[in-house]
């Protein structure tokens, strides 16, 4: 079963545990400035929205890379940047419609979410389940179930 990150902004409290976990996994330091997942806040914190790479099937970043430094991890479905191959040309950052690939001044390469090899640390760190790692074929499962209960069996609602 392939899994993907499922993000529910309504549950996000903007604590940034995810950003710290991501940066720690990839750089060894707690450093949100180098996190591959970002939390965006609006209206004095009323809205907090986690955003990261969705691992497109037809990945623009992968196709744009002139040195084939971005490849598919068949196991996880992640599009991974090989930092030893990346030349830092940043064409992929232009190709990505979502801005999810970014240049890292420390490594002088681009970085993006790699699903931590199948054990995403952001999801592990999230205290409110705003970020979960679920069956990629059924990302809507819980939400559908919730609506099914709400519309047909209100008494089952938690």
Partner 1 sequence: MAWQRKILRVDLSSGSVATEPLNMDWAFQYIGERGLATKYLWENMDPKVDAMSPENVLIFATGPLTGTMASTSGRYAVITKGPLTNAIACSNSGGKFGADLKYAGYDLLLLSGKSPQPVYLHIVDDQVEILPADELWGRSVWETEAWIRSQQQNPHLKIACIGVAGERGVYYSCIVNDLHRAAGRSGVGAVMGSKNLKAIAVQGTKGVTVADPKKFMQVTYEMKKLLENDPGRKGLTKLGTNAMMETMQEFGGLPTRNFQQVQFDGYDKVGARGMRVRKPNGHVNLITNKACFGCTIACGRIAHIDKEHFTIVNRKEYWHASGGLEYETAYAFGPMVGVDDIDACTFAGFLMNEHGMDPISFGVTLAAAMELYEMGVITREDTDGVELNFGNAEALTIMAEKTGKYEGFGQVLGLGSKRLCEKYGHPELFMGVKGQEFAGYDSRALQGMGLGYATSNRGACHLKHDTFEVDMDDQSGNGKAKPCKTSQDFVAMIDSTGLCLFPASAWGTTEFQQQIDAACEGDWNEQRILECGERTWNLERQFNLAAGLTAADDTLPPRLLEVPAPGGTAKGKVCELDKMLPEYYAERGWTSEGVPTEHTLNRLGLT
Q: Where on the chain is the footprint of partner 1 (CB under 8 A)?
A: 13-17, 20-21, 23-24, 27-34, 43-46, 48, 125, 127-128
Smallest distance, Å, CB 10 to partner 1?
8
Q: How far apart are CA 115 and CA 4, in angstroms?
A: 8
How would you classify residue 90: left for phi > 0, otherwise alpha for psi between -120 and 50, otherwise beta? left
* 65 contact partners, CB below 8 Å, separation of at least 6: 86, 91, 92
Measured from the CB atom, the residue of 18 and 101 that comes closer to partner 1 is 18
Residue placing its CB nearer to partner 1 in the complex, 30 or 51: 30
Specify the residue, 43 or 68, whose C-beta has the smaller distance to partner 1: 43
């Amino acid at each position: 079963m392939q899994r993907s990150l499922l993000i529910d902004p309504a549950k996000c409290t903007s604590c940034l545990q995810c950003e710290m976990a991501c940066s720690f996994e990839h750089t060894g330091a707690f450093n949100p400035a180098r996190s591959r997942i970002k939390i965006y806040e609006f209206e004095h914190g009323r809205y907090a929205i986690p955003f990261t790479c969705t691992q497109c099937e037809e990945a623009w970043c992968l196709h744009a890379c002139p040195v084939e430094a971005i490849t598919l991890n068949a196991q996880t479905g992640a599009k991974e940047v090989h930092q030893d191959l990346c030349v830092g040309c940043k064409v992929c950052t232009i190709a990505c419609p979502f801005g999810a690939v970014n240049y890292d001044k420390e490594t002088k390469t681009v970085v993006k979410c790699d699903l931590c090899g199948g054990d995403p640390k952001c999801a592990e760190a999230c205290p409110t389940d705003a970020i979960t790692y679920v069956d990629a074929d059924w990302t809507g499962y819980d939400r559908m179930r919730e609506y099914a209960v709400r519309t047909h069996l209100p008494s089952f609602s938690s």
